[in-house]
Amino acid sequence: MTYQRNRSGTKSNPSPKKREHTSESELILRASKIWHRGGLVAFPTETVYGLGANALSESAIKKIYQAKGRPSDNPLIVHIGYKKDLTKYAQNIPATAKKLIQKFWPGPLTLILEKTKRVPNITTGNLNTIAIRMPNHPLALKLLRQTNLPIAAPSANLSGKPSPTHAHHVRSDFQNKIDLIIDGGPTTIGLESTVIDLTVSPPIILRPGSITPQMIEKIIGPVETIHHSQKPSKTVKSPGLKYRHYSPEAKVVLLTLPEKNAKNTEKKLLEFFQTQPTSKKKIAFLTPHPEKFPLLKKTFPQIFFNMGKTEKSFAKNLFHTFRTLDEQNYHTIYIPELHTKELGLAIMNRMHKAASKTLKI
């Protein structure tokens, strides 16, 4: 594992792009100092990289919104290093929260709870609730524990871009605009955390993630899920829901396939791609199940990308592949619709947000 320093100079002395290799403990100390003086540090979590700042400092939080170009009514997730810190920032904590924390923290589950006065309104987009989680990443936990501050961290991408799963994604979005980027290698999950609102009954999953509704229901009973086809209501539950997300530059098209008959599906896909000018436009076809399309792969090998062979690996590679295809000037990314069970729900949620259209073939 290497750690890279991003910005060391002052404005009058723009930093050389040189990367310095520093020991882990030195780096953690440096990040902690930056957070204490109100700066921005990007760091890895098990889901995606976060762009972190002191959650208790209005001026530090303003820098996050500015750097990302994020609308200030879209609140941030606060990260803590110890479960016991929860009561400093959340109050009237329901029994459901306690059960979920016991089962899933540290981990990719963000809880929406009533906030305490200590948390400034800017951090929560003026809501009286807070989104809070304890990440399951050794380096993130060391950073949070060393700094001993709650760290507000949205995904470390420019607003609207795919979330970063590698440190170089963060570098490409922010270059020298933030104080430090800590490189902990690729993130393991690749999709952002599950967000669940526990201030309502039954609880509502506002953003599906790798902790699925089924896993949650086993612990606390029935929950509701906002479906990706649902238009956000006037009183938007999660402000993030109303913004377009995760879009690569390339056009993303979701393909609705005829179900049941696998052979028929592949035939339709073959016919479809035969009508596409694959020689003129760079076209990609992304699926977690390449084994379902052997003939298509034989006929159009150039449109296939290795996303691994499981839905888990597909999720892990998704945002990275979006960014790679953009770097290679791809024109259109076709993705066959997936089921919405288990991880499929989180994958389809991101797909619907990235897609400019759905095509029935």
Radius of gyration of the chain (CA): 21
- Kindly state whether residue 212 participates in binding ligand TXA, applying the rule CB under 6 A: no
State how far the Cα of 22 lies from the Cα of 89, in Å rounded to an integer: 33
Say if residues 13 and 118 touch (Cβ distance below 8 Å). no
The minimum distance between CB 1 and ligand TXA, in angstroms, equals: 19
- Kindly state whether residue 193 participates in binding ligand TXA, applying the rule CB under 6 A: yes
Give the nearer residue to Mg ion in terms of CB position, either 124 or 155: 155
Q: 184 exposed, middle or buried (CB, 10 Å; 0-12, 13-18, 19+)?
A: buried
Stretch that binds Mg ion, among 150-158, 204-212, 214-222, 279-287 (CB under 5 A): 150-158
- Kindly state whether residue 155 participates in binding Mg ion, applying the rule CB under 5 A: yes
Stretch that binds Mg ion, among 118-126, 147-155, 198-206, 215-223 (CB under 5 A): 147-155
Give me the residue label for tokens 């690749």.
Answer: 190
State how far the Cα of 89 lies from the Cα of 137, in Å rounded to an integer: 21
Q: Return the closest-CA partner of residue 285 out of 324, 333, 232.
A: 333
CA 261, distance to chain mean position in Å, is: 34
Task: Give the footprint of ligand TXA on residues 127-146 (CB under 6 A).
Answer: 127, 129-131, 135
- 325 binds, options ligand TXA, Mg ion, none, Cβ within 5 to 8 A by partner type: none
Q: Which amino acid is at 352?
A: H
The minimum distance between CB 239 and ligand TXA, in angstroms, equals: 5
Which of 192, 266, 311, 337 lies at the binding interface for ligand TXA (CB under 6 A)? 192
Say if residues 353 and 238 touch (Cβ distance below 8 Å). no
Task: Give the footprint of ligand TXA on residues 149-188 (CB under 6 A).
Answer: 153-155
Continuous segment of H or E residues that includes residue 110: strand 109-115
The minimum distance between CB 113 and ligand TXA, in angstroms, equals: 8
Residue numbers of the site for Mg ion (CB under 5 A)?
A: 155
Residue numbers of the site for ligand TXA (CB under 6 A)?
A: 45, 47-48, 50, 74-77, 108, 110, 112, 124, 127, 129-131, 135, 153-155, 192-193, 195, 206-207, 238-240
